[in-house]
Every structure is written in C-alpha cells, then in structure tokens.
Amino acid sequence: MADTAFPGWHGTTILGVRRGGEVVVAGDGQVSLGQTVIKGTARKVRRLAPGGRDVVVGFAGSTADAFTLLERLEKKLEAAPGQLTRACVELAKDWRTDKYLQKLEAMLIVTDGTTLLVVTGAGDVLEPEHDVAAIGSGGNFALAAARGLMETDLPAEAIARKAMAIAADICVYTNGNLTVETIRG
C-alpha cells in the first residue's frame, strides 16, 4: 500500500565544536522535501545579540518552529543576561509544558563561546561530552567525524569544516554549502 501522507521535510546538519577558547557552529544549507532538494542555500546558523552579548544558535527542523524558539530564547536571555544555561533551561521548560510550543519540531545548538548546549523539545538541555555536539539528519555522521578530528591539532573551524564535508558525503540530506559562525568565550 502506498504512503499517501505528505512527505516530511528533511535536511540539516548542525555541528558545534569547542576548542582553544572558541566555539564554532557550522550548518549546511540543504532543505529537502521527500526526495527533492527544495533549497541548497538555507542559513540555519544565526548570531543573536540579546543585551549586547553574542550567542550563536544553529537549528535543525522546521524553520518557522526554529524561529519561534529563537525569539523565545532571545527573551529568556534578556531576562537572564549572561546566564545562557539558565535561559536554555527556562526555554526547555516552556517548550515541554506549553501546549503551543509542544507542537514545535526543531532542535537547537546554542553557545555563548564558553558553554555549548543542545536544547530539545523533550525538555533536554545537554552539555555534550568531548566538546562536540551535532543535530539533524547528518548529525551522527558529523559528530563521529568531529570526535575523530578532535584527536588532531586542527583548530575548531577546520574540524567543523572537515566533519561537515564528511557528513555531506554520506548523508543525502546534507550539502557542502556551509554557514559557519565562530564565537570566543
């Protein structure tokens, strides 16, 4: 029996790498609908500046949902300046308990250059081990590649770019058109 459901959106690999006093967040540009590439130049890594303090966020999932979460995160950061973890925990609590937010389908990697976090709609605020975090359809490929590259002397940006290239070679929902943001702690 054929599946008549509307095909799901796929795409996105977001990778965060912390090394040498900086954090790099890289995201690919592909958005796919089913087996069709809809756009190859999407920008899924953004720099926020609530209260004058830079925060870099990469998102996977629905773009509209992610932008809703970014707006909420900015408000949380304005209410708790300089307290990234607290703002992310407050966002995750709202995301988990608010009936409107519960329907949002996205994940976030968030950093202020010191702290690196993964935030999910399940109420998770995770600080990854090994100074590497990845989300999205190619996230596991990028994570594995970056973890291996952390054993080299490469700087964070080189690790992120190489790991994302490996993910793009393996995952059909990931391309090599990168947005890369670097932030120092």
Q: What's the CA gap between 167 and 140, in Å, rounded?
A: 8
How many beta carbons lie within 10 A of that of residue 166, not counting itself? 19
Taking the alpha carbons at both ends of the chain, their separation in whole angstroms is 54
User: What's the maximum distance between 2 C-alpha atoms anywhere in the chain?
Assistant: 55
Using the structure block, give the residue that is written with the tokens 């993964």.
118
Q: Which of 12, 111, 174, 182 is catalytic?
A: 12
CA distance readout (Å), 112 to 19, 115, 157: 13, 6, 16
Q: What's the CA gap between 184 and 165, in Å, rounded?
A: 23
Q: What's the CA gap between 45 and 58, in Å, rounded?
A: 4
Q: Angle at the Cα of 141 (from 70 to 42), degrees rounded to 5? A: 40
Q: Is 179 a catalytic residue?
A: no
Which residues are designated catalytic?
12
